[in-house]
Amino acid sequence: MVSRLVLVLGDQLSENLSALEKANKDSDIVVMAEVADEATYVQHHPKKIALIFAAMRKFAARLRDDGWDVRYTELDDTDNCGSIPGELLRRADETGAKEVIATQCGEWRLINALEDMPLKLTVHPDTRFVASLDEFNDWADGRKSLRMEYFYREMRRKTGLLMEDGEPAGGKWNFDHDNRKPAPDAVDFNGPMEFTPDDTVEEVLDLVEARFGNSFGTLRPFWYATDQGQARRALSHFIKHALPKFGDFQDAMLDDNRFLYHSVISAYINIGLLDPLEVCQAAEQAWKDGDAPINAVEGFIRQIIGWREYVRGIYFREGPDYPRRNALNHQRKLPEFFWTADTKMRCVAKAVEQTRDEAYAHHIQRLMVTGNFALLAGINPHEVHEWYLRVYIDAFEWVEAPNVVGMSQFADDGIIASKPYVSSGSYIDKMSDHCKACDYKVKDKTGENACPFNLLYWHFMDRHRDKFGGNPRMGQMYATWDRMKDDRKETVLREADQFLEKLSKGERV
């Protein structure tokens, strides 16, 4: 029997991968490769590269133990071709294989590269998601707006999660109203489970340090899970110790606590170490057992079978040009402090510092601090998109681009969000303790010490009035703006312009 090559990518580390299920263990050959193209198409955070390479090496060993013939290429192998298509062609020459079996990739860039190969390519759907892309498109076709909430309800019905006799448990689909408590005085959770690097991980860390040591981000200490067993322990640790309070404080931020009650397992799901349905069922069981309240469990499950599934559908439905959309024509360059954390805005500095050290920040830090600032300041959304893709350990384009281009930057013209997610400093003050020690004064609306979020908020509203003046969700804020005295409005806009001029000149702000 002629062998076929079975491609397994670094974000496809699941034994139930469709390509593996369609392959013949007795004759087909698994191809896995650490290649420069995937490690450098953006300058990824070193922790992200280390996680993926270490998890790949362990998964390859697991497949070999299960009887697969695995041809694995390490990054510094002398024969490494530097790209996934190159490695497939090399292995085809080596084995005589003429056909490649693959699971659909998560980025258009790699999809197109594989289709250009002179080998027969059979691509199977990625069945590790609750909804297939056809299901999503069937749901989306003919709708005037594609709001996640309604798609999420379909996923609840399909999975049966938090459903009782066909109705949502607790009488509501969404308990988000209960999940907006400000930052607590103390957090009785010591953070996500940490793992001491073993020999495989240490070898990868040395490699990454040597090859990517100049990239943005701190490599060591490295504590992430790198195999399925560790990832499941991390999930159990979260379910037992943090899930009960996750809902209450999921939007909160603290100067001296980077994780609060968050799970920090999104990267494990996105590279295949955890199955999303398995994760949701574990959370649901905690509710059934009386160990976690429904607002926490529903909010957690919604992030996975709601947002995660929804943004994947949007990414593939909208096509390869989606990451470059710029509906608001924002053109300002990304400020240097997104790399250095050298800014007087304490909330932004804290988010960037944490991102540098952990390759992680939670959804409100991404949406309402760094994302909010970028949108208010008119930063080019493609630069914002590339920053998020580079710096976060869970960032793959299918999930990152819709969250940034659509949800955060409104660059897709409202496909995802019904209004731009902008706020003044008062929101950040309510949800965090950052403002207490900030150089700016969040209560000051104008003047030398005024919080930049306060000035930029009204500047954004004013310059985009033609776009959003008729948006019913923004009418109240425009009414507030209209009630301001003319001299007050002139002061706000002038001081906002002065701030933006300093920003463009690279001055410290």
Residue 456 has pLDDT above 80, yes or no: yes
Determine the average pLDDT of the residues in 499-509.
97
Determine the average pLDDT of the residues in 231-243.
98
CB 303 within 8 A of CB 309: no
Q: Tens digits of per-residue pLDDT, 197-223?
A: 999 999 999 999 999 989 999 999 999
Read off φ and ψ for residue 439, nearest 5 degrees.
-65, -30
What's the rounded Cα separation, in Å, for the pair 496 and 331? 17
Q: Considering only 171-180, 241-250, 343-352, which range has the smallest mean pLDDT?
A: 171-180
The fold adopted by the segment(s) 337-505 is: DNA Cyclobutane Dipyrimidine Photolyase, subunit A; domain 3 (1.10.579)
Kindly report, as residue ranges, where domains of CATH 1.10.579.10 are found in the chain.
337-505
Region of residue 359 (phi > 0: left; psi between -120 and 50: alpha; otherwise: beta): left
The residue count of the chain comes to 509
Give me the pLDDT at residue 1, please. 65
Kindly report, as residue ranges, where domains of CATH 3.40.50.620 are found in the chain.
5-124
Which residue in this structure is represented by tokens 């067993």? 229
Give me the pLDDT at residue 218, please. 98
pLDDT band at 79 (very low <50, low <70, confident <90, very high): very high
User: How much is the mean pLDDT over the chain?
Assistant: 97
pLDDT band at 179 (very low <50, low <70, confident <90, very high): confident
Give me the pLDDT at residue 185, please. 87
Instruction: Compute the C-alpha angle 225/231/235, nearest 5°.
Output: 125
Q: Tens digits of per-residue pLDDT, 403-432?
A: 999 999 999 999 999 999 999 999 999 999
Residue 178 has pLDDT above 90, yes or no: no
Which residue in this structure is represented by tokens 């004013």? 462
Instruction: Compute the C-alpha angle 489/495/500, nearest 5°.
Output: 125
Kindly report, as residue ranges, where domains of CATH 1.25.40.80 are found in the chain.
133-191+242-318
Give me the pLDDT at residue 111, please. 97
Q: Tens digits of per-residue pLDDT, 252-300?
A: 999 999 999 999 999 999 999 999 999 999 999 999 999 999 999 999 9
Give me the pLDDT at residue 502, please. 97
Q: At what angle do helices 486-505 and 452-463 cross, to 10 degrees?
A: 110
How many CA atoms are closer than 13 Å to the CA of 34, on its beta-carbon side? 23
Kindly report whether the global pTM for this prediction surpasses the value 0.75: yes
Please state, in angstroms and as integers, the Cα–Cα distance from residue 501 to each residue in 158, 332, 377, 415, following that order: 51, 10, 10, 31
- Give the rounded percent of residues in the chain with a pLDDT score beyond 70: 100
Counting DSSP H helices and E strands in the chain, the numbers are 25, 7
**Domain 133-191+242-318: which CATH number of 3.40.1360.10, 1.25.40.80, 1.10.150.120, 3.40.50.1240:** 1.25.40.80
Q: Considering only 172-186, 301-315, 385-399, which range has the smallest mean pLDDT?
A: 172-186
Residue 454 has pLDDT above 80, yes or no: yes
Q: Tens digits of per-residue pLDDT, 24-48?
A: 999 999 999 999 999 999 999 999 9
Beta strand 5-7 pairing with 99-103: parallel
CATH class of domain segment(s) 5-124: alpha beta
